[in-house]
Amino acid sequence: MSDQIIWLAESNELGALREFYQPKQRSMMSRFNDAKLYLYTEGVIIDSSEDDLRVFTWEGLMAYRYHRSVNGKPTEAVTTFVEAGRPPVAVGVGVPLTQPRLNGQKTKRPDKAIPIVGEHWWGEEVQRQVTEVNLQKLALRAQQGGLLDFGGVLMDIRGIEVKGKRLSWTAVKDIGLHGGHLSVTGVQRRDVLLVDACDVANLQLALTLADHLSESAAPPGEATNGAVTRGREADEADRGKSNKQVTAAVMLILGLMGLCAGVTGEHAPDAVNFVGGALALTGLIWLMVLTQGNNE
C-alpha cells in the first residue's frame, strides 16, 4: 500500500482497513491490472491505476448497483459511485448500465467499469454501511418535512414518487424488488410505480426508509408492518365483498327460479310464489347495496 493511500485514509478518517480487492489478473497487459478497491470501516478508496484516486465516505455516498444473472448465477455486478463535481466511477465486472443522478440531474454514465472482482461481497457491504450510517439522519429529515432523493425515487413524509407519478403512503400496498425493478403497488391495483433497481441510489437504504415511512403513516392501532399489512387487509376486505356478492346472486337466481315455477306450475302453492319472490327481492336488494359500496 502506497504512502498516498495511507495519507488519504487518515486525512479522511476512514478508520481501519478491512480488505482490498483487485482485478482478476490477465495474461495480456491491461490499464486496470493494478487497480484496487480498499474497503475501510468508514468508506472506500478506489485506485484506478491511472493516477486517479477517489475517496468516498459512507455519509452522503450515492452508490448505484447493477446486477445480471444467467440461470441463477451472477454474471455481471457493477457499483457506480457518484459525487458532486467529478464524473461517476463504475467498479466491477460488466457493463455499467446504471443512469446515475445527482441532485435531480442526470450525470454522465461511465463508459467502462474498473474490473475489480468481488462486487457481490464488497458491494453488499457498501450498501449495508451506507444504510447503517445514514438511516437515522434521513428518517429525521423526512419527519421534519425534507425531501429524500434516491435518483430514480423521491420520498418524503407524505409519500413516494417515481418518474413523476406519486402515491401517498396510506395508498401503498407493497414495495419490493421484482424482476430487476423496484415496484410500488397501490391498494388500488391500477396504481403501480416501476423503476429499474439499478437506477435507484443506495437501494437498501431506500427500501428500508420506504418501509419506515410507510409504517409511520399507518393509522393508530394498525399492525406495524406498513404497506404489507394494509395490502393484506384490503385483499381480505375485497374477498369478503366478493363472497357476499356471490351469495346475493345465488339468492336472486333461486328466487327467480321459484317465481318461474310458481307461474308455470298448474298446482303450485302460493308459498312457492311467496318464497321465490322474497328470495329474488332480497338478493336484488343485497346486490344493489354491495355494488353501491364498491363504487364509493
Q: Which three cell numbers stand for residue 248?
A: 346475493
Q: What is the pLDDT of residue 295?
A: 44
Judged against a pLDDT cut of 80, whether residue 25 lies above it is answered with no
177-226 pLDDT tens trace: 888 889 999 888 788 888 999 999 999 999 999 999 988 876 655 544 54
Judged against a pLDDT cut of 70, whether residue 288 lies above it is answered with no
Judged against a pLDDT cut of 90, whether residue 167 lies above it is answered with yes
- Beta strands 181-186; 17-21: pairing state: unpaired
Q: What is the pLDDT of residue 239?
A: 47
Cell match 356478492: residue?
A: 245
106-125 pLDDT tens trace: 777 787 889 999 998 999 99
Judged against a pLDDT cut of 70, whether residue 58 lies above it is answered with yes
Name beta bridge partners: 161: 154, 166
HSE-CB for 240 with a 13 A CA cutoff: 7
Q: Domain extents for the chain?
A: 3-124, 132-227, 230-295
The CATH class of 132-227 is mainly beta
pTM of the predicted protein model: 0.71
User: Nearest-CA neighbor of 177 among 65, 268, 17, 82?
Assistant: 65
Do 61 and 202 touch, CB atoms closer than 8 A?
Answer: yes
Query: What's the average model confidence in pLDDT over 74-85?
Result: 85
Handedness of CA 27, 28, 34, 35 (dihedral sign): negative
More confident call, 20 vs 109: 20
218-267 pLDDT tens trace: 665 554 454 544 444 444 444 455 555 555 555 556 555 655 555 555 55
Please tell me the distance from the alpha carbon of residue 292 to that of residue 290, in angstroms, as a whole number: 5
27-42 pLDDT tens trace: 556 778 889 999 999 9
Q: What percent of the chain has pLDDT over 70?
A: 70
